[in-house]
Structure 1
């Protein structure tokens, strides 16, 4: 029987290595995995606020702000006025939209390589387990 601590240790090892390897794959484009997550979210959800990004990624707002600022300096995103002056909306630039196909191809190839030899049934089970873990964490105090 696998102990919880063994499971979570392995999960953390996979998570760290996943980020490291994605960073290596995206290095020639000049994007890191944390930046990729924001680009991916904006591509699929459209313009949004820092709070929305922070909530989606389950990351503290200052961390998201630093990453967004870096993406802005790279001209991958821009900030626009929101409903009022205090609210800023974040959106992808033409540079990001033009580079998105290359990004998704690189990440998609990496993901395919990582999932090699894993059956569709195993993927479904793993996905269900991860969703249940997220739900369980959402109900924790």
Structure 2
């Protein structure tokens, strides 16, 4: 196996167990990792359209619609009309804003445990490497 193949093999071996454990952490909030990604995106970037969210997550708009409807049902987000009446903007509700902060603090030990023994510099390098791979794939 080449070093490139081994890199992606290690990523694959890490990804699924990580997502499974993240989903366990999110279960008390009735969330899955994809829904959490939407909440984090809205928290970090502010209100956005369904299309913006789909582009950010690299998924189809109907999938975003389903995710957002579930988050609306939970009271975590709200939708409002955009500049164009056909466009809807999604934003965190007041409850959603508070919840995101709570979940972030609850997830902190989980992330710390996952990265235990990994030097900060290695985490920064890995973050840069993964960002570069994303850029290469999306070109």
On whether the aligned pair clears a TM of 0.5, the verdict is yes
Per the TM alignment, residue 23 of structure 1 is displaced from its structure 2 partner at its CA by 0.6
Moved more, 72-81 or 100-109: 100-109
Inter-partner Cα distance in structure 2 for 1:135 and 1:101: 29
Gapped runs of 5+ residues in structure 1?
none
Inter-partner Cα distance in structure 2 for 1:124 and 1:48: 28
Change (3 A) 1:2 1:107: farther
Q: TM-score, normalised by structure 2?
A: 0.92
Is contact 1:50–1:89 with CA below 8 Å preserved after alignment?
yes
CA RMSD in angstroms comes to 1.5
Give structure 1 regions of 4+ aligned residues with deviation exceeding 2 angstroms: 1-7
What secondary structure does 2:31 align onto? coil
1:8 correspondence with 2:8: yes
Output one character per residue of 1:17-69: Cα deviation in whole Å (capped at 9) or x when no partner. 11111110111121111111000010111111011111111122121111111
Output one character per residue of 1:55-112: Cα deviation in whole Å (capped at 9) or x when no partner. 1111221211111111111111111010121000001112211212211112222111
What secondary structure does 1:64 align onto? helix
Name the counterpart of 1:100.
100
Is contact 1:75–1:95 with CA below 8 Å preserved after alignment?
yes
Is contact 1:78–1:91 with CA below 8 Å preserved after alignment?
yes
Q: TM-score, normalised by structure 1?
A: 0.91
Aligned residues: 139
Is contact 1:26–1:106 with CA below 8 Å preserved after alignment?
no
